[in-house]
């Protein structure tokens, strides 16, 4: 939520900032703004709406050349997405500008105090209070902007990344973080601050991960990090292993399309290097000893949205392969129900961004109760893996489209690897059984590519159905979370009513929704080995078809039982039941993307959403 960029160096600060905001726009796109320090003056421009509105305003009223500045793209929390509430926010004198990601929970009290002391606040935001507090602290800190920010941070409650520039400190930009992301990009004679590395990846791949409650000052010649009390603080330096081209659309109309197409490679990358020469799984970022993993008597998977669906699928694999009881819970609900946790509970926290606040709070709760937390994450240097006992990175590369696709498939692969690893360590799976599943997993990139090659009929169907007001999805076993995921994709991209059901539940109520012509998409498990799940869902499809539904069926190649009962069949290659979601999800992603496109929606930036949700 909210994208932040700060720059100090020899280049045009405005160019660097606008380019960075373009790459960060997926984080929020309600409004955008910049502030520059130029010729002893602070200049600022901000506009409601997408970055393009700000760019149009800048074309009409060009700003002066500057080498120091900050920029922001917003996902509104306090105050409607208007010009007035767009960041940056200035103090009474117009000498300093602040941008912010997060929520300052005690802002009402701070604001009342400021107004009593004569400050004039002109927006409805929590952020503006910080600008005026800094106005008071800057002289008190003898013009040391970092010290002024530290003093202000000590007064704030809530979650925040703040970045500040001041006309009397023209060669520095300062930032602070608590529970919200901020990374430093280290260049040669220039330095950057940003919500994530994609903002500066075109200029440097050397990054510094800031810790909790730290303040950073960037200058052309260096970076200084302290805690909120001014003590020198340590921060982790790392090299980003992807480059600017990975964060570009690369000829596709949408990032989402590109990311769907990248899935074979992404899944291969998640598997890479996990199997040693002896054929044994080795998960070197685990940081939990085999001994500790043998003590585990319960697993709880926590996640949000699409990642939660990955967790639901993981449960089937974990329980089947390890025989450890596994619960799956929405992170936003987890800590409020007083879950039973102890040292023997392994909590698996799944997150593409590594910044989702609901999940961060849930994992902190789990660790406070003594549980061990393993993060499955795609974003190196993000908060969730840093605060976990162990981490398994998915190595999917940057995911820019708001709707998660390759993030989801690679989370699934990581979950399968964790389940197999536990099976190996605890001896619930023989070595040759593990090898056989690993071989199946290794075949998946090729099979996903095969699914992608056959997607034209799915796109045609999506265009044909683009005026529908409702679509239902049915699945059983691991097909049920796939149905939930298909429905979520359609809701968030096409803004139509879509619901996923466990097919067996239909007769307990939802079947009343079926009416003539209603599209129902069913995920059919493999037919092999007299698979009872297969036969049951075939009956469920017949039930909805008998009531007039238009049955769209995702089934394995060669499964002829579905031909007579389906209006459309989408074919996928054969796969073991537990791994089938890696294939059956793909047509649903393509379907939602194409249907939303046909409706004329912005597929990469659906309304009201943002990529990483850093508020609770």
Contact at 8 Å (CB) between 201 and 243?
Answer: yes
C-alpha span between 439 and 448 (Å, rounded)? 15
Task: Tell me: does residue 382 bind ligand F6R (CB under 6 A).
Answer: no
What's the count of helices (H) and strands (E) in the chain, helices before strands? 19, 24
Contact at 8 Å (CB) between 86 and 31?
Answer: yes
Q: Where are the beta strands (DSSP E) in 506-549?
A: 519-523
C-alpha span between 539 and 280 (Å, rounded)? 41
Contact at 8 Å (CB) between 356 and 348?
Answer: no
**Smallest distance from the beta carbon of 273 to ligand F6R, in angstroms?**
23
Question: Pick from 403, 409, 412, 522: which binds ligand F6R (CB under 6 A)?
Answer: 403
**Smallest distance from the beta carbon of 145 to ligand F6R, in angstroms?**
32
Task: Tell me: does residue 394 bind ligand F6R (CB under 6 A).
Answer: no
Question: Pick from 307, 363, 490, 555: which binds ligand F6R (CB under 6 A)?
Answer: 307
Scan for tokens 């649903």, then name that residue. Answer: 588
C-alpha span between 471 and 531 (Å, rounded)? 27
Task: Tell me: does residue 356 bind ligand F6R (CB under 6 A).
Answer: yes
- Tell me how many degrees the CA angle 242-248-254 measures, rounded to the nearest 5: 130
- Tell me how many degrees the CA angle 375-376-380 measures, rounded to the nearest 5: 90
Cα 313 to the center of its chain, rounded Å: 19
Closer Cβ to ligand F6R, 30 or 559, answer by number: 30
- Measured in Å, how far apart are the chain's first and last C-alpha atoms? 11
Task: Tell me: does residue 353 bind ligand F6R (CB under 6 A).
Answer: yes
User: Interface with ligand F6R by CB under 6 A: which range of 12-20, 149-157, 209-217, 302-310?
Assistant: 302-310
User: Interface with ligand F6R by CB under 6 A: which range of 22-30, 74-82, 135-143, 350-358?
Assistant: 350-358
CB atoms within 10 A of CB 368: 10
**Smallest distance from the beta carbon of 147 to ligand F6R, in angstroms?**
34
Contact at 8 Å (CB) between 253 and 262?
Answer: no
Closer Cβ to ligand F6R, 68 or 306, answer by number: 306
Q: Which residues are catalytic?
A: 2, 611
Closer Cβ to ligand F6R, 165 or 394, answer by number: 394
Task: Tell me: does residue 613 bind ligand F6R (CB under 6 A).
Answer: yes
Closer Cβ to ligand F6R, 20 or 305, answer by number: 305
Contact at 8 Å (CB) between 191 and 218?
Answer: yes
C-alpha span between 374 and 351 (Å, rounded)? 11
User: Interface with ligand F6R by CB under 6 A: which range of 75-83, 352-360, 531-539, 554-562?
Assistant: 352-360
Task: Tell me: does residue 326 bind ligand F6R (CB under 6 A).
Answer: no
Closer Cβ to ligand F6R, 347 or 514, answer by number: 347
Binding-site residue total for ligand F6R (CB under 6 A)? 15
Closer Cβ to ligand F6R, 147 or 399, answer by number: 399
Hey, what are 558's tokens?
A: 């060669």
**Smallest distance from the beta carbon of 121 to ligand F6R, in angstroms?**
32
**Smallest distance from the beta carbon of 377 to ligand F6R, in angstroms?**
8
Task: Tell me: does residue 414 bind ligand F6R (CB under 6 A).
Answer: no
User: Interface with ligand F6R by CB under 6 A: which range of 57-65, 96-104, 312-320, 353-361?
Assistant: 353-361
- Give the neighbor-by-neighbor strand order of the sheet with 519-523: 497-502, 470-475, 519-523, 550-556, 568-572
Virtual torsion, Cα 520, 526, 532, 533, nearest 10 deg = -40
Task: Tell me: does residue 306 bind ligand F6R (CB under 6 A).
Answer: yes
Task: Tell me: does residue 304 bind ligand F6R (CB under 6 A).
Answer: yes
- Tell me how many degrees the CA angle 349-353-354 measures, rounded to the nearest 5: 45
**Smallest distance from the beta carbon of 95 to ligand F6R, in angstroms?**
37
The interface with ligand F6R within residues 465-494 (CB under 6 A) comprises 488, 492
Question: Pick from 179, 195, 351, 394: which binds ligand F6R (CB under 6 A)?
Answer: 351
Task: Tell me: does residue 376 bind ligand F6R (CB under 6 A).
Answer: no
CB atoms within 10 A of CB 396: 28
The contact set with ligand F6R (CB under 6 A) reads 304-307, 351-353, 356, 359, 403-404, 488, 492, 612-613
């Amino acid at each position: 939520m909210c994208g932040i960029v700060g720059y100090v160096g020899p280049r045009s600060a405005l160019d660097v900032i606008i380019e960075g905001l373009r790459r960060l726009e997926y984080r929020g796109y309600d409004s955008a703004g910049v502030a520059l320090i130029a010729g002893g003056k602070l200049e600022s421009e901000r506009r409601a709406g997408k970055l393009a509105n700000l760019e149009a305003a800048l074309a009409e009223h060009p700003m002066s050349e500057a080498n120091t500045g900050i920029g922001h793209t917003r996902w509104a929390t306090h105050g409607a997405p208007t010009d007035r509430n767009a960041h940056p926010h200035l103090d009474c004198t117009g000498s300093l500008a602040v941008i912010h990601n997060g929520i300052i929970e005690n802002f009402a009290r701070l604001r009342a105090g400021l107004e009593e002391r004569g400050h004039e606040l002109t927006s409805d935001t929590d952020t503006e209070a910080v600008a005026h507090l800094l106005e008071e602290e800057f002289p008190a800190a003898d013009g040391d902007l970092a010290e002024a920010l530290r003093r202000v941070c000590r007064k704030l409650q809530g979650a925040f990344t703040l970045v500040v520039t001041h006309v009397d400190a023209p060669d520095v930009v300062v930032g602070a973080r608590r529970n919200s992301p901020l990374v430093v990009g280290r260049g040669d004679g220039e330095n950057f601050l940003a919500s994530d590395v994609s903002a500066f990846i075109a200029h440097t791949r050397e990054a510094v991960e800031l810790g909790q409650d730290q303040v950073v000052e960037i200058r052309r010649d260096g970076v200084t990090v302290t805690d909120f009390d001014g003590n020198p603080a340590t921060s982790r330096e790392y090299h980003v292993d992807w480059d600017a081209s990975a964060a570009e659309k690369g000829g596709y109309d949408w990032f989402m399309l590109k990311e769907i197409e990248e899935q074979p490679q992404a899944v291969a990358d998640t598997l890479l290097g996990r199997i040693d020469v002896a054929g044994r799984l080795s998960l070197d970022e685990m940081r939990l000893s085999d001994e500790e993993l043998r003590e585990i008597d319960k697993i709880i998977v926590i996640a949000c949205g699409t990642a939660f669906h990955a967790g639901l699928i993981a449960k089937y694999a974990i329980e089947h392969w390890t025989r450890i009881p596994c619960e799956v819970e929405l992170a936003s609900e987890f800590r409020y129900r007083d879950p039973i946790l102890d040292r023997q509970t392994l909590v698996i926290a799944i997150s593409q961004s590594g910044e989702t606040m609901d999940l961060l709070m849930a994992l902190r709760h789990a660790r406070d109760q003594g549980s061990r937390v393993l993060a499955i994450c795609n974003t190196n240097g993000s908060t969730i893996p840093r605060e976990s006992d162990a981490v398994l990175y998915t190595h999917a590369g940057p995911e820019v489209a708001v709707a998660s696709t390759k993030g989801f498939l690679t989370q699934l692969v990581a979950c399968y690897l964790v389940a197999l690893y536990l099976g190996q360590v605890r001896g619930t799976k023989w070595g040759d059984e593990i090898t056989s599943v690993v071989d199946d997993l290794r075949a998946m990139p090729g099979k996903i590519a095969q699914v992608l090659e056959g997607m034209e009929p799915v796109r045609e169907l999506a265009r044909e159905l683009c005026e529908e007001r409702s679509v239902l999805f049915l699945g059983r076993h691991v097909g049920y979370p796939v149905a939930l995921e298909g429905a979520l994709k359609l809701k968030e991209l096409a803004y139509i009513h879509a619901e996923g059901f466990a097919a067996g539940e239909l007769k307990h109520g939802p079947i009343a929704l079926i009416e003539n012509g209603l599209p129902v998409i069913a995920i059919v498990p493999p037919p092999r080995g007299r698979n009872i799940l297969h036969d049951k869902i075939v009956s469920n499809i017949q039930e909805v078809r008998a009531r007039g539904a238009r049955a769209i069926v995702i089934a394995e190649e060669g499964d002829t039982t579905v031909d007579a009962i389906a209006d459309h069949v989408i074919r996928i290659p054969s796969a073991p039941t537990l791994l089938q979601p890696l294939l059956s999800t793909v047509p649903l992603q393509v379907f939602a993307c194409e249907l939303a496109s046909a409706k004329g929606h912005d597929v990469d930036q659906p309304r009201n959403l943002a990529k990483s949700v850093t508020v609770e």
